[in-house]
Amino acid sequence: MNNKWIKFLERHLGKHEIDGLSDDMEIEDDLGISGEDGYEFFEDFCQTFNIDTKGNSAAEFFHPESFLNFFKFWQKDVGEKKKLTIGMLKKIIEQGSF
């Protein structure tokens, strides 16, 4: 994709971390972006690429930060989050909306 996309990924993942990314990688599970970082990622993504969220929010994709994260069953109780992948983000950029 374009330079703007690369710079966005570098800002959130680090310059050396973007090598080897694939479209099927999940932002939270594979890249480890969650909690406050996930919320910032979502907001920056929407701002940087002028994305219409169509009512979607970061809370739908990222689990909140919590000192209780080691209780995996607890996260399941608050509901599964929608998956968000590199490929989905590329498609959202092309469409201009979710």
The range of the structural domain enclosing residue 75 comes to 3-95
User: How many helices and strands (H and E) does the chain possess?
Assistant: 4, 0
Tokens matching residue 56: 């979607």
Per-residue pLDDT, 98: 92
pLDDT digits (tens, 9 = 90+) for 2-48: 899 999 999 999 887 788 899 999 999 999 999 999 999 999 999 99
How many domains does the chain contain in total?
Answer: 1
Please give the span between the terminal C-alpha atoms of the chain, in angstroms, as a whole number.
18
pLDDT digits (tens, 9 = 90+) for 72-85: 555 554 568 999 99
